[in-house]
Amino acid sequence: MDAVTRPLRYAVLGAGARSETYIRGLLGPHRADAELLAIGDINPGRAVHFCALAATLGAGEVVAFAPHELETVIAAQQIDRVIVTTPDATHAEFVVRALHAGADVIVEKPLTTDIDGARTISRAATETGGSVTATFNYRYSPRNSALKELIQSGEIGEVTSVHFEWVLDTVHGADYFRRWHRLKQNSGGLLVHKSSHHFDLVNWWLGDSPSRVYASGGLRFYGADNAANRGVGERPARGSVGAPSSDPFVLDMRTVSGLEELYLRHENHDGYVRDLDVFSADMTIEDNIAVIVDFSRGATLTYSLNAHSPWEGYSVSVNGTRGRAELTVVERAEVSGPAVVDPSYSDVLSGSDVRTEGERLVVQQHWQGAREIPIVDGDGDHGGGDRRMLEDLLARTAPADPLHRRADLHDGVKAVAVGIAGNLSLHSGSAVVLADTGLPGWEPATEGVHA
């Protein structure tokens, strides 16, 4: 692709909520470098919806296509890059097909959900020589970049251990239990779908590779059994039909701007139901997870994720041979109903008097006082990460980055490796050595090649 001097030609596959970030980026700040030519989805209604949005943003002709037409579209439109924003378990198929059809790929996290997916993507990248960029917007949020810079500076010495807790609130966290994510076969569970963001941050902060994983957890709040045990009575199967409900766990798409147009109106095409009850049966993912990870250079990570917290945010403590760094972030201090489902639909949020939204990075060396490190304003979605990530991924000549935020295929594999091994550990009850899994990069003969 280096010899191409015209704007790069893009197709987006997966016309759901996340695709809008890329479509607006391609047709907005990056239009001089990029040309959007095709939008594909299994649901023709949603593909056409985003083609119409593209037209209002001033695009030229953008064709809607079905997934089986991917290769034809790549050839006919001379597509340079495919952006994959379909559900997680479908990523591997589309990444492999796009590579073999001659395109490079930008794929949303998680790269894939299982060992087979990681192996087939790695093999296709080797066979075709195509490039695969895994997208990790959290690397680009200024607070996370500031922690990377601090660790990289050596101020706290060699990292010996990390303690990382992430809490999702009853709006954002609950939303994973309403739709495709609630089945592990679609998302890999939150350990892959959500925590791959967090494991990627740790891999990147430390510049190291995980080597062994132990996980414990379960479904303890959402789901029919937990609700019944708490005495919760009969509930509607879904939120957007029948009478409106004042229950904050019920999502009525008719009342949330953007959702009716994107999902409810197009159910007739594919039967994708976006608003299942979070206290219904048959979900197979966890809502409370604890993980211990060993890293190849000797550091240990203790990690936990909770998906039913009254507030949302995270805290990370990094212990080093010369001191300690602590990052605390409150992304949303409190939520009040009715349900909103994404930080970008933030019109019904409220603030708390006691817990305030904000971020704080503090460093302290042995025998010294603590010092707060200023963080530049993280405006925009995902702590300011989305805008900065698009600048890096979509600009024709991205500036040199001393923090190495652009994630490649190996970073994508490393990020899902902890979650995939964690799922094996949840199943077996034992710790999983990554070199025993068959994941690319940890074969016994090449262990540690990505460190």
The C-alpha atoms of residue 84 and residue 19 are separated, in whole angstroms, by 8
The C-alpha atoms of residue 263 and residue 285 are separated, in whole angstroms, by 23
User: DSSP per residue over 247-265, as a string?
Assistant: -TT---GGGSTTHHHHTGG
Going by the DSSP 8-state scheme, the letter that residue 434 receives in this structure is G
Footprint on residues 10-49 left by ligand NAD (CB under 6 A): 13-18, 41-43, 46
Beta carbon of residue 338, minimum distance to ligand NAD (angstroms, whole number): 19
Residue closer to ligand NAD by CB (options 49, 450) is: 49
Residue closer to ligand NAD by CB (options 15, 82) is: 15
The tokens describing 159, both together, are: 């990292």
Residue closer to ligand NAD by CB (options 193, 450) is: 193
The C-alpha atoms of residue 443 and residue 439 are separated, in whole angstroms, by 7
Task: Let me know how long the chain is.
Answer: 451
Task: Assess 383 for contact with ligand NAD (CB under 6 A).
Answer: no
Residue closer to ligand NAD by CB (options 299, 307) is: 307
Is residue 36 within 8 Å of residue 26, measured between CB atoms? yes
Beta carbon of residue 94, minimum distance to ligand NAD (angstroms, whole number): 7
The C-alpha atoms of residue 253 and residue 218 are separated, in whole angstroms, by 29
The C-alpha atoms of residue 311 and residue 168 are separated, in whole angstroms, by 7
**Out of 35, 80, 104, 108, which residue is the one contacting ligand NAD (CB under 6 A)?**
108
Beta carbon of residue 54, minimum distance to ligand NAD (angstroms, whole number): 15
Residue closer to ligand NAD by CB (options 18, 212) is: 18
The C-alpha atoms of residue 337 and residue 339 are separated, in whole angstroms, by 5
Stretch that binds ligand NAD, among 56-64, 79-87, 246-254, 425-433 (CB under 6 A): 79-87
Residue closer to ligand NAD by CB (options 41, 208) is: 41
Each residue 120-159 as x (binds ligand NAD by CB under 6 A) or -, in order, gives ---------------x-x----------------------
Beta carbon of residue 198, minimum distance to ligand NAD (angstroms, whole number): 12
**Out of 85, 113, 141, 209, which residue is the one contacting ligand NAD (CB under 6 A)?**
85
The three-point CA angle 349-350-351 to 5° equals 135
Residue closer to ligand NAD by CB (options 14, 378) is: 14
Task: Assess 109 for contact with ligand NAD (CB under 6 A).
Answer: yes
Beta carbon of residue 439, minimum distance to ligand NAD (angstroms, whole number): 19
The C-alpha atoms of residue 302 and residue 384 are separated, in whole angstroms, by 26
State the amino acid at position 313 in one-letter form.
G
Residue closer to ligand NAD by CB (options 41, 411) is: 41
Footprint on residues 271-290 left by ligand NAD (CB under 6 A): 272
The residue number with the shortest CB distance to ligand NAD is 16
Beta carbon of residue 56, minimum distance to ligand NAD (angstroms, whole number): 19
Cβ-based burial of 288 (10 A; exposed 0-12, middle 13-18, buried ≥19) = middle
Beta carbon of residue 125, minimum distance to ligand NAD (angstroms, whole number): 19
User: DSSP per residue over 343-400, as a string?
Assistant: TTS-TTEE--SSS--EEEEEEEETTS-EEEEP-----SHHHHHHHHHHHHHHSSSPPP
Residue closer to ligand NAD by CB (options 90, 211) is: 90
Each residue 384-403 as x (binds ligand NAD by CB under 6 A) or -, in order, gives --------------------
Residue closer to ligand NAD by CB (options 91, 410) is: 91
Cα of 268 vs its chain's centroid, Å: 28
Beta carbon of residue 20, minimum distance to ligand NAD (angstroms, whole number): 8
C-alpha distances (whole Å) from 333 to each of 163, 306, 380, 381 are 21, 15, 17, 16
Dihedral class, residue 383 (left if φ above 0, else alpha if ψ from -120 to 50, else beta): left
Look-up of token digits 């954002």: 172
Neighbours of 404 (CB within 10 A): 14
Strands 210-218 and 288-295: antiparallel
What three-state secondary structure class fits 413?
A: helix
Helices (H), 255-398: 259-262, 267-270, 381-394
Beta carbon of residue 35, minimum distance to ligand NAD (angstroms, whole number): 21
**Out of 35, 80, 88, 286, which residue is the one contacting ligand NAD (CB under 6 A)?**
88
# of chain residues touching ligand NAD (CB under 6 A) = 23
State the amino acid at position 265 in one-letter form.
R
Task: Assess 208 for contact with ligand NAD (CB under 6 A).
Answer: no
Neighbours of 244 (CB within 10 A): 12
Task: Assess 309 for contact with ligand NAD (CB under 6 A).
Answer: no
Beta carbon of residue 336, minimum distance to ligand NAD (angstroms, whole number): 23
The C-alpha atoms of residue 433 and residue 295 are separated, in whole angstroms, by 11
Task: Assess 90 for contact with ligand NAD (CB under 6 A).
Answer: yes
Residue ranges binding ligand NAD (CB under 6 A): 13-18, 41-43, 46, 67, 85-88, 90, 108-109, 135, 137, 193, 272, 382
